[in-house]
Amino acid sequence: MSTMDFESRLRAALTPVEPPEELAVRLERTLVNLTELAADELEAWELSSMRDPRNWVRPAAAAVVGAGAGTALVVLRVRSRHRRRVAQSSGVIDLAERTMRDLADEARRLLP
Protein backbone atom coordinates (compact mmCIF):
# COMPACT_ATOMS: atom_id res chain seq x y z
CA MET A 1 0.00 0.00 0.00
CA SER A 2 1.49 3.33 -1.02
CA THR A 3 1.63 6.40 1.19
CA MET A 4 -0.83 8.32 -1.03
CA ASP A 5 -3.31 5.46 -0.91
CA PHE A 6 -3.01 5.27 2.87
CA GLU A 7 -3.47 9.03 3.25
CA SER A 8 -6.54 9.08 1.01
CA ARG A 9 -8.11 6.18 2.92
CA LEU A 10 -7.34 7.84 6.23
CA ARG A 11 -8.80 11.15 5.01
CA ALA A 12 -11.97 9.35 3.82
CA ALA A 13 -12.32 7.54 7.14
CA LEU A 14 -11.95 10.71 9.21
CA THR A 15 -14.40 12.94 7.36
CA PRO A 16 -17.01 14.47 9.68
CA VAL A 17 -20.42 12.84 9.64
CA GLU A 18 -23.52 14.92 10.24
CA PRO A 19 -26.00 13.32 12.64
CA PRO A 20 -29.54 12.71 11.41
CA GLU A 21 -31.86 15.69 11.80
CA GLU A 22 -34.31 13.79 13.99
CA LEU A 23 -31.57 12.80 16.45
CA ALA A 24 -32.04 15.91 18.60
CA VAL A 25 -35.80 15.34 18.73
CA ARG A 26 -35.37 11.68 19.70
CA LEU A 27 -32.76 12.55 22.31
CA GLU A 28 -34.95 15.25 23.83
CA ARG A 29 -37.96 12.90 23.91
CA THR A 30 -35.88 10.22 25.63
CA LEU A 31 -34.54 12.67 28.21
CA VAL A 32 -38.05 13.95 28.95
CA ASN A 33 -39.28 10.36 29.39
CA LEU A 34 -36.40 9.52 31.74
CA THR A 35 -37.04 12.64 33.79
CA GLU A 36 -40.75 11.89 34.07
CA LEU A 37 -40.14 8.24 35.00
CA ALA A 38 -37.67 9.25 37.69
CA ALA A 39 -40.12 11.81 39.07
CA ASP A 40 -42.90 9.20 39.13
CA GLU A 41 -40.62 6.77 40.97
CA LEU A 42 -39.74 9.40 43.56
CA GLU A 43 -43.40 10.34 44.03
CA ALA A 44 -44.27 6.70 44.71
CA TRP A 45 -41.54 6.51 47.34
CA GLU A 46 -42.84 5.89 50.86
CA LEU A 47 -40.88 7.48 53.66
CA SER A 48 -41.84 4.77 56.14
CA SER A 49 -40.13 2.08 54.06
CA MET A 50 -36.80 3.90 54.17
CA ARG A 51 -35.90 2.46 57.57
CA ASP A 52 -34.51 -0.56 55.77
CA PRO A 53 -31.35 0.35 53.77
CA ARG A 54 -32.23 -2.26 51.13
CA ASN A 55 -35.06 0.03 50.04
CA TRP A 56 -32.73 2.96 49.32
CA VAL A 57 -31.51 1.73 45.93
CA ARG A 58 -34.55 2.57 43.77
CA PRO A 59 -35.08 6.13 45.08
CA ALA A 60 -31.35 6.84 44.90
CA ALA A 61 -31.15 5.53 41.34
CA ALA A 62 -34.26 7.53 40.39
CA ALA A 63 -32.72 10.69 41.85
CA VAL A 64 -29.46 10.17 39.95
CA VAL A 65 -31.19 9.34 36.66
CA GLY A 66 -33.65 12.21 37.03
CA ALA A 67 -30.94 14.74 37.84
CA GLY A 68 -28.73 13.55 35.00
CA ALA A 69 -31.51 13.49 32.42
CA GLY A 70 -32.84 16.84 33.57
CA THR A 71 -29.42 18.45 33.37
CA ALA A 72 -28.80 16.99 29.92
CA LEU A 73 -32.21 18.20 28.77
CA VAL A 74 -31.51 21.75 29.95
CA VAL A 75 -28.09 21.74 28.26
CA LEU A 76 -29.54 20.34 25.02
CA ARG A 77 -32.27 22.99 24.86
CA VAL A 78 -29.93 25.85 25.73
CA ARG A 79 -27.36 24.63 23.19
CA SER A 80 -29.98 24.48 20.44
CA ARG A 81 -30.60 28.24 20.88
CA HIS A 82 -26.91 29.19 20.91
CA ARG A 83 -26.73 30.69 17.41
CA ARG A 84 -29.67 32.98 18.10
CA ARG A 85 -28.06 34.23 21.33
CA VAL A 86 -24.76 34.86 19.53
CA ALA A 87 -26.56 36.94 16.89
CA GLN A 88 -28.43 38.96 19.53
CA SER A 89 -25.49 39.61 21.86
CA SER A 90 -23.17 42.55 21.60
CA GLY A 91 -20.10 40.90 23.11
CA VAL A 92 -18.72 38.02 25.12
CA ILE A 93 -20.05 39.31 28.45
CA ASP A 94 -23.52 39.86 26.98
CA LEU A 95 -23.45 36.37 25.46
CA ALA A 96 -22.48 34.84 28.82
CA GLU A 97 -25.28 36.76 30.58
CA ARG A 98 -27.85 35.68 27.99
CA THR A 99 -26.68 32.06 28.23
CA MET A 100 -26.89 32.05 32.03
CA ARG A 101 -30.36 33.61 31.88
CA ASP A 102 -31.46 31.00 29.34
CA LEU A 103 -30.06 28.20 31.56
CA ALA A 104 -31.97 29.51 34.58
CA ASP A 105 -35.21 29.93 32.60
CA GLU A 106 -34.99 26.43 31.15
CA ALA A 107 -34.24 24.88 34.54
CA ARG A 108 -37.28 26.69 36.02
CA ARG A 109 -39.46 25.32 33.21
CA LEU A 110 -38.27 21.78 33.87
CA LEU A 111 -38.69 21.86 37.64
CA PRO A 112 -42.26 21.44 38.89
Please name which of 12, 98, 15, 46 lies closest in space to residue 4, comparing C-alpha atoms: 12
The residue type of 48 is S
Average pLDDT, the chain: 86
3-state SS, residue 69:
helix
Q: What is the pLDDT of residues 66-99, one digit of tens each?
A: 999 999 999 988 988 888 888 888 889 999 999 9
Query: Is the distance from CB of 20 to CB of 61 less than 8 angstroms?
Result: no
- C-alpha–C-alpha distance, residues 68 and 59, integer Å: 14
User: Is the entire prediction scored with pTM above 0.75?
Assistant: no
